[in-house]
Amino acid sequence: MTEFSVDEVVKLMNIYGKLAIAVAVAFVLLQFVRPGIPTKPTRAEVEAPPGVRDILENSCYSCHSDQRRLSWFDQIVPGYWLVRHDVLTAREHLNFSTLGSKPPAMQKATLYEAANVIQLGAMPLPRFLALHPDSRVTPDELATLKGYLAPWTSSPNPPASAPVGVNAKSPTSAAAVAGSTPPPVSLATAQQEFDGFPLDPAFEGWKPISFTDRGDNNTFRFVLGNDIALKAAQSGKISPWPDGARFAKIAWQQELGPDGLLLPGEFVQVELMLKDAKQYRNTDGWGWGRWRGLELKPYGNDARFVNECTGCHLPVGGNDYVYTLPITTAHVPGDEIVNNEAAALPANLPYQPLAWSAITMYVDPNAHTMSTLYGDGAAMQTVNARGTPSTATPVYLPGSVLALVTWVQRDDPHWFGARIPAVPESVEFVQVAAANKTSDYRRFTRRNLTPEQLTAAEEAKRVSFILGLPPARLP
């Protein structure tokens, strides 16, 4: 053991004492290096009942408002710098002090996102909760927020009056009778997003990975994937998704048909994601794009668009920032990463339609089921969903096979206000016959999807229904 003399000990104490004083002085001086956190009077608060607003004020306003609500320990530098950064970033994403100036639909959409990030445990930030436990949203408070939002209580567009020549009992949506159809746009000439992210014209040929019924905004979503994404989903190698995987999420407004079914109506938008961990390392490994309306206008105007995308997808970072649960038979470790339930089609079916392309979908709100119409390669040769009137139904080639898969619905665990396919309830096949011939019809139902025999009249009615479903329209 090294022994120190009294003089050496005194010398060391003097050095450490001076260091301590220097650190203390530096700490005090740093307290004056504090850029401000702007505060403003509330201009337009979100429109919500007092009970809902109380929850938001208690758990969200510290960061997501123009009010300055810092605890004493939040004021201490260098922690203050982190707090300031979080507050300014949070305000840029969502500011409850100004949200009330937005249209009511946008306000409610924002609250849906808030409910989802709370439900997924992403907000309030865990590090914020560690020091501010009173900001935690309790299960009862989350239930209050969800109860206020109440998805599926607003009605989709009602059916339009059927003009002469349109069967009022046909499964045609209200958009089918809405008048003339504008010419299709050229996908190849669609403008890029502000950061150069392009619209991939090939998305129309990608295969479906899942489908969503969005009660929060009365829309339907096809989620399609390119070959790389499809193979990854089928093999379960999606943690992370491989480079080159591309997704297209296509949205249509729901419309209420004369028979009470909800059908795809007006095209809303297409959103694309491209996985490239190196190229997009600053945006969670993904490139993002959104094109709205039949003219496919790019959504983004500046960098805030990408921040909006990454911020929205942050709660599912554990799923490589992907909300969708792919319909697949692959088993992936963990809960609610893939949707095995919806893929549970027995091997003894005459065809396996989940590998085919999707033509359209609909929801029966009374039965709580959702159905997707698939077509084999021959059927898809005659499906033209681009630029055609919604009244137009394909004249399928003889020998074409259509499959109508109907699932029971369940809540989407990743998005409050959405429903996704669950257990298959039935699969119906129609093999198109030549002119003046009767098309072949087969139906499989019940728990194990066993064959079900219908009367000739019932079969003819189902064949007419399935062949009369118009494709969900693309721009």
Q: Each residue of 289-301: pLDDT tens digit?
A: 999 998 999 998 8
Q: What is the pLDDT of residue 86?
A: 79
Structure token pair of residue 317: 């970072």
Pair 133, 264 in one domain: no
Looking at the domain assignment, is residue 122 inside a domain? yes
Residue 413 has pLDDT above 90, yes or no: yes
Residue 170 has pLDDT above 60, yes or no: no
Q: What is the pLDDT of residue 303?
A: 74
Interval 324-371: pLDDT, tens = 999 999 999 988 999 999 999 999 999 999 999 999 999 999 999 999
Mean pLDDT within 249-273: 95
Q: What is the pLDDT of residue 248?
A: 97
DSSP assignment of 323-349, as one string?
Answer: ----B-S---SSSSSSBTTTT---TTS
Q: What is the pLDDT of residue 48?
A: 83
CA torsion angle 213 219 224 229 (round to 10): -70
Pair 298, 201 in one domain: yes
Confidence of residue 68 (pLDDT cuts 50, 70, 90): confident
Domain ranges, residue 17: 1-30
Q: What is the pLDDT of residue 172?
A: 46
Interval 178-200: pLDDT, tens = 445 566 678 888 899 988 899 99
CA distance 321 to 309: 10
Residue 398 has pLDDT above 90, yes or no: yes
Pair 327, 443 in one domain: yes
Into how many domains does the chain fold?
A: 3
Pair 273, 329 in one domain: yes
Residue 149 has pLDDT above 50, yes or no: yes
Pair 328, 194 in one domain: yes
Per-chain mean pLDDT for the chain:
86
Residue finishing a domain among 128, 149, 170: 149
Looking at the domain assignment, is residue 250 inside a domain? yes
Pair 24, 56 in one domain: no
Q: What is the pLDDT of residue 253?
A: 96
Q: Range with the lowest mean pLDDT among 180-184, 202-206, 269-273?
A: 180-184
Pair 24, 65 in one domain: no
Q: What is the pLDDT of residue 35?
A: 81
Q: What is the pLDDT of residue 264?
A: 95
Q: What is the CATH number of the domain that holds 460?
A: 3.50.70.20
CA distance 214 to 235: 28
What share of the chain has pLDDT > 70, as a percent?
Answer: 90
Pair 435, 463 in one domain: yes
Looking at the domain assignment, is residue 41 inside a domain? no
Looking at the domain assignment, is residue 320 inside a domain? yes
Residue 161 has pLDDT above 50, yes or no: no
Pair 116, 223 in one domain: no
Confidence of residue 14 (pLDDT cuts 50, 70, 90): confident
Pair 317, 456 in one domain: yes
Looking at the domain assignment, is residue 38 inside a domain? no
Q: What angle separates helix 50-59 from helix 104-119, to the nearest 10 degrees? A: 50
Looking at the domain assignment, is residue 453 inside a domain? yes
* Cβ atoms 423, 434 nearer than 8 A: no
Q: What is the pLDDT of residue 128?
A: 80
Cis peptide before 78, with omega less than 30 degrees from 0?
A: yes
Mean pLDDT within 370-375: 98
Q: What is the pLDDT of residue 166?
A: 33
pTM equals 0.85
Confidence of residue 436 (pLDDT cuts 50, 70, 90): low
CA distance 355 to 357: 7
CA distance 440 to 462: 11
Q: What is the pLDDT of residue 261?
A: 96
Q: Range with the lowest mean pLDDT among 41-45, 235-239, 336-340?
A: 41-45
* Cβ atoms 253, 280 nearer than 8 A: no
Residue 316 has pLDDT above 90, yes or no: yes
Looking at the domain assignment, is residue 165 inside a domain? no
Looking at the domain assignment, is residue 123 inside a domain? yes
Q: What is the pLDDT of residue 445?
A: 94
Q: Say which residues have a Cβ less than 8 Å from residue 414's Cβ, sequence separation at least 6.
A: 116, 120, 316, 319, 323, 324, 325, 336
Nearest to 216 by CA among 307, 107, 341: 107
Pair 453, 314 in one domain: yes
* Cβ atoms 350, 431 nearer than 8 A: no
Pair 448, 301 in one domain: yes
